[in-house]
Structure 1
Amino acid sequence: MWSILLGLVIGLSLGLTGAGGGILAVPALIFGLGLTLPQAAPIALIAVGAAALVGALQALRQGNVRYKAAILMAVAGGLTAPLGLKMAHVTNPDWLNVCFAIVLFLVALRMWFQATQQQRLPMNDTGPLPHKTCTLSPHNGKFVWTPATAITLAGIGAVSGFFTGLLGIGGGFIIVPALAYFSTAKMDNIVPTSLMVIALVSATTVVSAFTHGLSITAQQWLFIWCTIMGMVGGRLIAPRIPAPLWQRLFAIVCTVVAVVLLLR
């Protein structure tokens, strides 16, 4: 029952936010299934990566994925993810837990601030867009590629990949706010693009984990499949739920999990 419930919740979170699956998947596996952080990280990556792939393919058919940017970020992330994975194996698990809790607090603050900021924006804001390093063409909605654009996107992917390997989280908590800050893309492009990067980088890290002797139990496979089903449901209901509502709820959950992780 825990595997089913936790998997559905994680997938739903990932489908709604494009960033929250791995952040909650690792604590869920630690508290719900009794795994340590190094044990939970690769299982979380498989679940989140597979679910992200399903969501990305759905959005790809709708033309919402900026796939060239996703591939560039994934390649950069694939180079740094093994470095994070190696560091995870030589770092004290207690320090990894503290690092994970800090990340949770930062994500909670960002989500809460983002929800408040969205509510303060006027409904029909037609003012000029601020200058961003990565801009989308008004004609076809795709990135205008410049050296600065490529360097910025590759940097986002590299940082995301390192934390993917280190903590077993998808990296969306870095990709989504970074794309929102550095680019003119809207959330209906950012979230599915983030999902594609998560899927590609997770695959690289998971292959590395299997070469180090990873084995998966039936209970863990159940968690993975339920995460995928939760993702499908999350992508279906995302347009019907006000973003500030689930962002605040997600921030509260992250804060509670961080406190429990530190106390443990």
Structure 2
Amino acid sequence: MLLGAMFGIAIGIILGLTGAGGGILAIPALVIGLGWTMTQSTPVALFAVSAAAAVGAVDGLRKGLVRYRAAVLMALLGAVFSPLGVYVAHSLPNAVLISLFSGVMVIVAIRMARQASDNSPKHAGDEQPWQHKNCMLNPQTGRLRWTLKCSTTLAVVGSVSGLLTGMLGVGGGFLIVPAFQQLSDIKMHGIVATSLMAIALISASAVTGALFAGAHITATGGMFIAASVVGMLLGRILSPRVPAKVIQLGFCAVCVVVASYLMLKTWM
């Protein structure tokens, strides 16, 4: 149980820092650290991510950082598609699920590494015009412009996040955060806070589906979940003090190493 608590704290801190990494690293922590299968790990990881993300989302709401309407829209579509992901997960062998999960980790690492390199200082003439962004803030109100393009973008992101959440137990932030960075002009701290709210809601729906499918939470899993909430609180405290580029590059390195280890352990 002590090992589960240590992993839980680490996952919570990463989730608090990135708004993306906690979900995608929770499964490897349980599979590698505790020797569980993917189907055993998924409900515990989702429960931990949902609880920790809810704490972070409340903090973000208190600070006025959460774009709550965007988060709710993504969560609603995610809740629709997450049961399909749970069904697919229970239909596939453990080795196939781990391979898919490892592939997702590598894709996430590549995307975040590219975005970290794009965070270098830019000249005024290098900025993209606002028409190239799907979701833009209204400079007068500070709120999102709810155009058809923006609504469709958020719906697609939420649907795919829900499917992968139910299938791989990854929370969804790994997709939501890069999508917001690429398709909106919201600042990073607002992106993370909005992502945490969406993750909390999507993961909660996926947990419900997994429990109805016969999953259960052990004592060690309960310790992992509680510790992840503590880690989230620490991560939210550290987040403003750590440069975004450092967080992104460090997260990329961890993803590549963990994905490689999972593949070697599964197939060698």
Q: TM-score, normalised by structure 1?
A: 0.95
Question: Structure 1 unaligned runs (5+)?
Answer: none
Q: CA deviation at 1:185?
A: 1.4
Q: Which residue does the alignment assign to 2:121?
A: 121
Percent identity over paired residues: 48
Deviations along 1:97-136, one digit per CA (max 9) or x if unpaired, are 1111111111111222222221x22499995644212111
Equivalent-residue separation in structure 2 for 1:157 and 1:151 (angstroms)? 10
- Structure 1's 150 and 128: CA in aligned 2 closer, same or farther, altered over 3 A? closer
SS of equivalent to 2:134: coil
- Structure 1's 127 and 27: CA in aligned 2 closer, same or farther, altered over 3 A? closer
Q: Which residue does the alignment assign to 1:256?
A: 257
Matched, 1:246 2:247: yes
Matched, 1:180 2:177: no
Deviations along 1:192-226, one digit per CA (max 9) or x if unpaired, are 11100100011111111111222211111111111
Paired AA for residue 101 in structure 2: F
Matched, 1:230 2:248: no
Deviations along 1:154-182, one digit per CA (max 9) or x if unpaired, are 11100110000010110101111111112
Q: Which residue does the alignment assign to 1:215?
A: 216
Q: Which residue does the alignment assign to 1:159?
A: 160
CA contact (8 A) 2:80 2:159 kept: yes
- Structure 1's 229 and 262: CA in aligned 2 closer, same or farther, altered over 3 A? same
Paired AA for residue 112 in structure 2: M
Q: Which residue does the alignment assign to 1:54?
A: 55
Q: CA deviation at 1:234?
A: 0.5
Equivalent-residue separation in structure 2 for 1:129 and 1:140 (angstroms)? 19
Q: Which residue does the alignment assign to 2:65?
A: 64
Q: Does 130-139 or 153-162 show the bigger shift?
A: 130-139
Q: Which residue does the alignment assign to 2:8?
A: 7
Alignment map for 1:16-35 (pairs within 5 Å): 16-35=17-36
Dislocated runs of 4+, deviation >6 Å: 123-126
CA contact (8 A) 2:5 2:224 kept: yes
- Aligned-pair RMSD on alpha carbons? 1.6
- Structure 1's 40 and 125: CA in aligned 2 closer, same or farther, altered over 3 A? farther
CA contact (8 A) 2:112 2:178 kept: no
Alignment map for 1:26-45 (pairs within 5 Å): 26-45=27-46
Q: CA deviation at 1:93?
A: 1.5
Equivalent-residue separation in structure 1 for 2:27 and 2:191 (angstroms)? 23
SS of equivalent to 1:112: helix
